Structure 1
Amino acid sequence: MQTRRDLLKSSAGIALAASAMTALPSVVFARAPVVGRQAASFYRLKLGSYEITALSDGTVKLPMSKIYRNIAEQDAEAYLTNHFQSGESETSVNAFLVNTGDRLVLIDAGTGDLLGPALGKLVANIEASGYKTAQIDHVILTHIHADHSGGLVIDGKRVFENAILHVNAREAEFWLKADAAAKADKVLGPQVAQAEKCVGPYVEAGKFETFGDNAAPIPGFGSVLHAGHTPGHSGIIVESEGEKIIFWGDIAHGAVLQYDQPEVTVDFDVDQKEAAKARAIAFADAADRKYLVAGAHHAFPGIGHVRRDETNYEWVPLVYKATY
């Protein structure tokens, strides 16, 4: 026979069970599709009175051990494996927007639709960062390879409709005035055609200017010629209130192997020997003078310092700041 005490105990147990059940997460709410992408990829920092926004064009998997030169493929792969980058390494494509307060200057322009759906995110990230392409006053290219100039046009029209495009003079000469032999070359020919397609609309619109070696692309912005990767490959120098950054372009592909072995080059270098020399000079200067550098193919946001270490050099990424 059930007593009053038994009934109370039973009721308490039922209440406790009910309470516990309501506290459990809903199985339905726990199910959600995997997103598979990051948040909008932009990152801001201050340089003196300027604001710099690093912008991602996306990342792409590349078999870097097959792309590196002046090193055996198995040695490159062993090195990358030791740095958790074996197989196909995730490679960033970065561009950078400088807001001086008076004007907006974009350095490099991403890939556009030239290199597949994993890339071509630059315009979306410009807009996510709070700007519009029509607001950009100047675009300065470190060089005219597809991953730096492909985003200049879409469907033959200028993406940066109000911007003047600036390129080193010898870079423009090499790609835009190529001779018949270069155009017929299996490697250079397609790159020449791509350069004409992407830069041509700015030339036709009267929105194209060149600058000399180590000269200012626009007032307040400097350049340093680092020829080799391409003939006019140039770092772009920005300084404000005693602070300095150099936008390196393709001085380095990745942030590990070439810092230990600057003599290692890549397939994409037009002049392998000169590219290695330029990298050695750039590394030494950045390490000695301790200014910020920004790399087009360092892991996003691609900004940091170079320091000497026991093996040669080391890339030191900028410490993340939520505010500045």
Structure 2
Amino acid sequence: MQFISKLSPLAAALVFAASAPAFAAAPLAGTNAPGFFRVMLGDFEVTAISDGTVDLPMNKLLHQAPAKTDQELARSYLNNPLETSVTGYLVNTGTKLVLIDTGAGNLFGPTLGKLLANLKASGYQPEQVDEVLITHMHPDHVGGLAANGQAAFPNATVRADRHDADFWLSQANMDKAPADSKSFFQGAMVSVGPYAASQHLQPFDGATEITPGIRAVASYGHTPGHISYMVESKGKKLLVVGDLIHAGAVQFDHPEVTIDFDSDPKAAAAARHQFFTAAAKDGTLIGAAHLPFPGLGHLRSNGKAYQWVATNYTQLR
């Protein structure tokens, strides 16, 4: 102690720190903050809401040589299987609260199904949702519609393209589908069922104005009735593209690469080219369910490829 008293205050502090008893490190927290991210689009408030992530074996799913997929993922410091986001988009127009896609609910395992909790964490309640717009009826987009046979959004009207509704809600189509595809039909039926029973399912045909500032645009190919949604306020545009893209590290450079989930790969690739080229030209903001959360950004054309420019972080004031 006499020695320490002769040291400078800083040196003494260092000696005490070195000689103090060690404490065990704090345990790993293991979680991130609630998964929502909010931006303004003109007068509209848009909240990206995470449903979680799921690991997908992209080198088996994408239609190119597996080794090439692995190489392209590695260039972006990504591994295979690829941890893939699932995101919904909540739009507050000032007069309506509109949710685009609902995540997987309990249809895809424990790493998904978080959209409802994250919606609440973002400051909203499911009872406040006026409309739920479905890009397509794959389970990771409709699974959050229902829980235990009950509508998760009890006051909402569900809108989807009639081509998708007629296809995925058909018992005859499910009966003749391959065994490994039947669960897609079952998931759609279970999820949409409560809304159909209460007359709250309202299919539409192709390009349709859903509510002022939000319109459906047909982007068929991934599924028979795959829809994108254009959200516009005060000249600012957001295009929510559903499953036009799954793996940005591959498909931005090679937009011709399709995926096993595409019902019509040729049409899916054509829709991606059409919408991405238009978005790159006019600066439309993109919302993509399976790009890394929040899946918001802009596109630049680069020859036959595209460059993704993720949206800047914003703290709303």
- TM-score higher than 0.5: yes
The residue aligned with 1:53 is: 47
Mapping 1:149-298, distance limit 5 Å: 149-179=142-172, 182-298=175-291
CA distance in 2, matches of 1:194, 1:251: 21
The residue aligned with 2:62 is: 68
Report deviation, 1:304.
0.6
Instruction: Tell me the SS of whatever aligns to 1:74.
Output: helix
The residue aligned with 2:27 is: 33
CA distance in 2, matches of 1:27, 1:104: 53
Tell whether the 8 Å contact from 1:47 to 1:243 is kept in structure 2 after alignment. Answer: yes
Instruction: Tell me the SS of whatever aligns to 1:213.
Output: coil
Q: How many residues align?
A: 315
Query: Which string of whole-angstrom CA distances, capped at 9 and with x for unpartnered residues, describes residues 218-259 of structure 1?
Result: 343111111110011010111101111110000000222111
The residue aligned with 1:313 is: 306
The residue aligned with 2:76 is: 83
Amino acid at match of 1:27: A
The residue aligned with 1:116 is: 109
Overall identity of the aligned pairs, in %:
41
Amino acid at match of 1:108: D
CA RMSD between the two structures: 2.1
Query: Which string of whole-angstrom CA distances, capped at 9 and with x for unpartnered residues, describes residues 32-87 of structure 1?
Result: 11011110110110001110000000112211111101x11111111111221232
Report deviation, 1:134.
0.7
Structure 2 residues without counterparts, runs of 5 or longer: none
The residue aligned with 1:3 is: none
The residue aligned with 1:302 is: 295
Amino acid at match of 2:294: P
Amino acid at match of 2:56: L
Instruction: Tell me the SS of whatever aligns to 1:276.
Output: helix
Tell whether the 8 Å contact from 1:210 to 1:217 is kept in structure 2 after alignment. Answer: no
Distance 1:26-1:104 versus aligned 2 partners, 3 A rule:
farther
CA distance in 1, matches of 2:173, 2:316: 53
Instruction: Tell me the SS of whatever aligns to 1:59.
Output: strand
CA distance in 1, matches of 2:281, 2:249: 19
Report deviation, 1:190.
1.9
TM-score, length of structure 2 as denominator length = 0.93
Amino acid at match of 2:278: D
Tell whether the 8 Å contact from 1:48 to 1:241 is kept in structure 2 after alignment. Answer: yes
Report deviation, 1:18.
7.2
Tell whether the 8 Å contact from 1:164 to 1:209 is kept in structure 2 after alignment. Answer: yes
CA distance in 2, matches of 1:261, 1:240: 32
Query: Which string of whole-angstrom CA distances, capped at 9 and with x for unpartnered residues, describes residues 102-152 of structure 1?
Result: 111000000101111111110110011011111111100001100000011
The residue aligned with 1:141 is: 134
Instruction: Tell me the SS of whatever aligns to 1:208.
Output: coil
Amino acid at match of 1:207: H
CA distance in 2, matches of 1:97, 1:141: 12
CA distance in 1, matches of 2:162, 2:310: 32
- Aligned mate of 2:124, from 120, 125, 131: 131
